[in-house]
Chains A and B, each alone.
Chain A
């Protein structure tokens, strides 16, 4: 059952104020992931503590990197369930977990961060991993 939107709204805002585009419908997901081009990142947001304490601030730090994906999106697990399921269908070989992060290059998943890789890690550690992936896959 989804949480009260008043509780969730700040968790959405934490990403959208960074310029991360939120995808809340199947059509929106298909509109961007169904047309693979360049580098795209999908952040599967969550109400859980490791999203708040590690994943979202880690992504925020990583996006300060000069090299970053051309497009950055988010879906919210447990809230926007249809959009999340649709997004996951584009990286279906990876088991669902949230939070999690998928980095695509021309439609192919080139880096994936599972929830187990986020739990208990600092935002700086998450950012370092993401920044390394950006350098490797999103450079010229």
Chain B
């Protein structure tokens, strides 16, 4: 990473594809827009539901890394109370087994 702000005038992650881990069994991958008191707003979002998916999160992420992000929702707000962490997709992929 270059360390520079990708879109000046916005948060550092604005416009960057991130993984948002939630505490309700949902994992989101999308382009970070902003964090507000309502939550984290993402655009062009893929969602993994641990309760219904046949694939583990790492397996889902590996496929997504190779073939791209299959958009489930044009946008999503992840409520702050559900938020575990936000991490760049590229950074998280480096940690996968």
Residues of A within 8 A of B (CB): 48-50, 53, 93-97, 100, 112, 114-117, 119-122, 125
Task: Give the most central of A48, A53, A96, A120: most B CB within 10 Å.
Answer: A120
Q: Give how many B residues have a beta carbon under 8 Å from the other chain's beta carbons.
A: 17
Q: Is the CB of B1 within 8 A of A94?
A: no
Distance in Å from the Cβ of A100 to the closest Cβ of chain B?
Answer: 8
Beta-carbon contact of B6 and A119 below 8 Å = yes
A93-B67, A100-B68, A119-B15 are known; give 14 further A-B pairs, CB within 8 A.
A48-B15, A50-B15, A53-B6, A94-B67, A95-B67, A95-B70, A95-B71, A97-B68, A114-B68, A115-B17, A119-B17, A120-B1, A120-B88, A121-B2
**Contact B15 A116, beta carbon cutoff 8 Å:** no
Closest to B17 in A: A116
Q: Is the CB of B6 within 8 A of A50?
A: yes
Distance A93 CA – B88 CA, assembled complex (angstroms): 23
Min CB distance A118 to B, Å, is 10
In chain B, what residue has the closest Cβ to A95? B68
Closest to B12 in A: A120
Tell whether B89 is near chain A: CB-to-CB under 8 Å.
yes
Which A residues are in CB contact (< 8 Å) with B67?
93-95
Contact B2 A122, beta carbon cutoff 8 Å: yes
6 CB-based A-B contacts, threshold 8 Å: A95-B67, A95-B69, A95-B70, A116-B90, A119-B6, A120-B16
How far is A126 from B49 in the complex, measured between Cα atoms in Å? 33
Are A120 and B89 neighbours in the complex by a CB distance under 8 Å? Answer: no
- B4 on the A face (CB < 8 A): yes
Q: Which residues of B contact A115 (CB under 8 A)?
A: 17
What 0/1 pattern do residues 1 to 38 of B give for CB contact below 8 A with A? 11010110000000111000000000000000000000
In the complex, residue of chain A having the shortest beta-carbon distance to the beta carbon of B30: A116
B89 to chain A, nearest CB (A): 5
A-side contacts of B4, CB under 8 Å: 120
List the B side residues contacting A95 at CB < 8 Å: 67-71
- Closest residue of chain A to B13 (Cβ to Cβ) is A120
